[in-house]
Structure 1
Amino acid sequence: MTEILLSRPEPGIASLCINRPEVRNALNQSVRRQLAEHFSALGQDPDIRCIIVTGGDKVFAAGADLRDIADATAIEMHLRQVQRLWQAIAGCPKPVIAAVNGYAWGGGCELAMHADIIVAGENASFAQPEIKVGIMPGAGGTQRLTRAIGKFQAMKMLLTGLPISGREAFAAGLASEVVEDAKVQERALELARTIAAMPPLAAAQIKEVLLAGQDASLDAALMLERKAFHLLFASQDQKEGMRAFFEKRKPSYTGQ
């Protein structure tokens, strides 16, 4: 069985679906490696303008596959260099949308937080329950979660391991939108379609500057923003977009 299903539902859009239903899409080393390979390839594909990552309409990913790590030593965990696989997702230049139904626990929650937009179902479940098995998050769960929802909400989730619903995640700032469970995949595709119609150079610069600016001083971040803003005036898409605005027509962006 293919563990990651790649589809291209519409022009400019790629969808990656974790396909391990027998273990609630638990993330093992093979799945992480395949995700990294797909994100690396799609990030360089000029025909792709937005990527959806999902586990389907039942469960996103219920965490790490504990059978894959239960007996590992510290040195074995270090030698796996899992952070390099996660970096392929974090460093993807294309906008990424996580479509979350059901469990997004542990590594699943961390995977969702690697996305740029999270569409959550009302009954989705987000958690970092690693403490319950004697460990802690190891793929950004302490850092990305705190940046998303703040210290006090993050501490509660991390120290208790208790889940929050899709609606609670949206209220806390962990999700971009919350919709009916049955509409998650449809809404993610709708957002991807909107983004895919935008100028890809501008989208890439927005993503790069926003992420880089989060850990910079305000002055440094504003400088990065100005430089990227000026750079986009060298693109054909900028000329096309503004001409289309004046001519009252739909623009056609080529990524040039």
Structure 2
Amino acid sequence: MSNFENIIVEHEGKVATVTINRPQSLNALNAQTISELSTALDELNTDGNCRVVILTGSGEKSFVAGADIKEFSDFNSEKAEELARNGQNSLFNKIENMSKPVIAAVNGFALGGGLELAMSCHIRYASENAKLGLPEVTLGLIPGYGGTQRLPKLVGKGLANELIFSAKMISAGRAKEIGLVNEVFTLEELLPKTMELAVQISKNSPLGISRAIKAVNLSGSSEGFETEIKAFGELFELEDKKEGVAAFLEKRKPEF
């Protein structure tokens, strides 16, 4: 694993926890942090000892408070478009399309790019003190890291419009009500509960999960059903299916 300045990568069994560690700026995303996250996720995606990734922020106040505005405050249109495109391709889309599940443990503020980062993850758990929102229109901007695309898929177009247009923050409880996060826990419970889920997932077929991620990501598109059908068929030729079915028939737990 590479050496990093702004993130910490820890391994526990088959689960890797990636912590964004810029507490002095409430873990805001700058170019270096995005680059380090991209590199770490590339390495974890090819690490045979890692089956699930947890993504969280350091401290008790913030998951990611947003993008580091100082870095792009004087950009022109061309540089701003490049920033958004590179960020989406190198990190946000990468997370969504990883072959391994990424779970966001949202511990506090998840605003702007921070909420977009959480939404790119496959599952979101949050602490009771979490505040979530997309405040970009207060700066005369819009979300640029996929927020206008992922939020409607999670909560519906009407609620997405309300949150984006109003720029208001919502509580973790409200986020759960509308389907933006899966579960809410106390701050002390957040990481243990997230780890509990990650360990449960890590026991299941990695080949099945990787194909499920791809199929779910295409749900609602013209390719979704065909992708599911083909993946279902492909898995019949692979070792995980053979082990899973054998374990079921032999009344034992599978070993993937």
Q: TM-score, normalised by structure 2?
A: 0.93
Partner of 1:225: 228
Structure 1 unpaired stretches of 5+: none
- The separation in 1 between residues aligned to 2:164 and 2:29, in whole angstroms, is 19
Cα displacement (A) at 1:57: 4.9
Q: CA RMSD in A?
A: 1.4
Superposition pairs of residues 87-236 of structure 1, within 5 angstroms: 87-214=93-220, 216-217=221-222, 220-236=223-239
Structure 2 unpaired stretches of 5+: none
The answer on whether the counterparts of 2:20 and 2:57 sit within 8 Å (CA) in structure 1 is yes
Cα displacement (A) at 1:46: 1.9
Partner of 2:90: 85
Q: TM-score, normalised by structure 1?
A: 0.93
Q: Equivalent residue of 2:255, what SS?
A: coil
Partner of 1:49: 51
The answer on whether the counterparts of 2:97 and 2:214 sit within 8 Å (CA) in structure 1 is no
- The separation in 2 between residues aligned to 1:197 and 1:204, in whole angstroms, is 13
1:40 maps to amino acid: D
For residue 74 of structure 1, the aligned residue among 51, 72, 77 is 77
The answer on whether the counterparts of 1:15 and 1:51 sit within 8 Å (CA) in structure 2 is yes
2:77 maps to amino acid: A
- The separation in 1 between residues aligned to 2:197 and 2:55, in whole angstroms, is 13
2:231 maps to amino acid: A
Q: Equivalent residue of 1:175, what SS?
A: coil
Q: Equivalent residue of 1:152, what SS?
A: helix
- The separation in 2 between residues aligned to 1:91 and 1:241, in whole angstroms, is 25
- The separation in 1 between residues aligned to 2:190 and 2:230, in whole angstroms, is 36
State percent identity of aligned pairs.
37
Matched, 1:38 2:44: no
